[in-house]
Amino acid sequence: MPTASVLTVSVLTACLILLVPACGADTDASGSSTPSSATPATTTSTGTTSTTATTTTKKKKKKNVVAWILSLGPGAPEGPPEFTAYRELQQLRCATVFDRVGELDEPARTLYEGAAHACLAATKGEGDRWPLAVAALQQVAAKTGDLNCMDVAALALLDRLVTLHAKHPGGTFQLAATKKSKAPPCPSIATIEPDHGVEGTLVRMTGSHLGADVVGISVIDSLGNSLPAQRVDSAVGTLEFTMPEEPSSDASATVCVVVRADPDWVADGHLFTYESDTTGPPAALDCPPAAEG
């Protein structure tokens, strides 16, 4: 895969997709049609006929909600197909996903094509695309070990759409804004301890998804220079590393410690301040920094 510039996975507001069964007769829990209640006729003792009103209670149609995927942050580069295919899907530009997958390796190419088919079927009513989406899901599901964290989020979306369509094959989809969303399972930092020290300080990072997707830890100074940190140990939810040499005298004592994810992009960052007499005073930094290009 091409090497991506440093970028961030700060999350933005996402949208959800709302599945509403097709209009028609009310259905019970088993899916059977329920006819409307009639108003029965009764006969009085005088032989005249009257009607007795019967209250009819309509069963509320259940709305099945499936979360869309969160966007990658503003630091995501525009060029690499790994990111553009994901972004087009996230922003519901379903048809253009097909234009972004030409340089992707398998199984990512089949994954995004299948997700685009499901997206068009769900949002544009192009029902003939559902079999293509199902076939792609079946093909990629056995190859999850070859997917990065963005791909895993796209695969989960494809699975949610196919599953709901199977339950409600006659359903129509309606978009609705909600606060819920599905974040890509990419590395994220909760804390680093200590967050200050000197060259060679042993630092413990805690967070989420700090496993196989992490390809390295780097320290970026206020001038944009980057040095790798020496990785020491890792466990579930933690990484330990030592800080590299302090920045030059032209740079601030404050640096950004970033975790890089496959395919070599900045997924998250946290500030660290060197205790030094040679560097400049601590300064406010964008951490993680926005990617270039």
Mean pLDDT, consecutive 10-residue stretches, the chain (293 aa), reads 37 38 36 39 44 51 67 68 89 93 94 96 92 98 92 94 90 62 86 96 95 89 93 88 93 93 88 89 84 63
Cα–Cα distance between 97 and 129 in angstroms, integer? 14
Structure tokens at 269: 């960052």
Structure tokens at 262: 């496959």
Q: Are 21 and 10 in contact (CB under 8 A)?
A: no
Cα–Cα distance between 209 and 9 in angstroms, integer? 13
Cα–Cα distance between 132 and 95 in angstroms, integer? 14
16 by DSSP, 3-state: which?
strand
pLDDT at 201: 96
Please indicate, yes or no, whether the overall pTM of this predicted structure exceeds 0.75.
no
Structure tokens at 199: 């060259």
Please identify which residue in the block is written with the tokens 């606060």: 179
Which strands form 172-176's sheet, in the order they lie side by side?
64-67, 16-20, 172-176
Q: Which listed CATH number (3.40.190.170, 1.10.3210.10, 2.40.37.10, 2.60.40.10) goes with 188-274? A: 2.60.40.10
- 33-34 and 26-27 beta bridge pairing: antiparallel
CATH 2.60.40.10 domain extents, the chain: 188-274
In single-letter form, the type of residue at position 187 comes to: P
Q: How many residues appear in the chain?
A: 293
